[in-house]
Amino acid sequence: MNDTAIIACVLSPRAVNALARCDIKTVDQIRSSYPHELLRVHGFGMLSLRAVEAAFFPGERFDPEFGVPMVSRKASILSEDLSRHLRSAPSCDLGDLK
């Protein structure tokens, strides 16, 4: 079985096409691109990465540290302010609503 057939058995067509657009077409290229370069490929996500790990890296698991993106920090600060405000607000008694 050639590399193309092996990759097609392991990954979804979308992930295979995404890798092909980045000229990643062999098992060796996948192994050398694991994990960071693979996750940079548009259309190749964590589900595809887990399939690669199961097929080519048994027993390994890459867990990226997802932080708050720079563009979302303002929204995060606003959410923290809203959360503090809601904690300090008097609670409503909803017992009469049925």
Domain ranges across the chain: 3-56
pLDDT band at 71 (very low <50, low <70, confident <90, very high): very low
In whole angstroms, what is the distance from residue 36 CA to residue 93 CA? 51
- Residue 54 CA to residue 34 CA, distance in Å, equals 12
Write out the DSSP string of 15-58: HHHHHHHTT--SHHHHHHHTTHHHHHSTT--HHHHHHHHHHHST
Residue 92 is given by DSSP the state: P
CATH class of 3-56: mainly alpha
Tens-place pLDDT, residues 29-59: 999 999 999 999 999 999 999 999 999 999 9
Q: Label residue 92 by pLDDT band (50, 70, 90).
A: low
Q: Residue 16 pLDDT more than 70?
A: yes
Burial class (CB in 10 A: 0-12, 13-18, 19+), 28: exposed
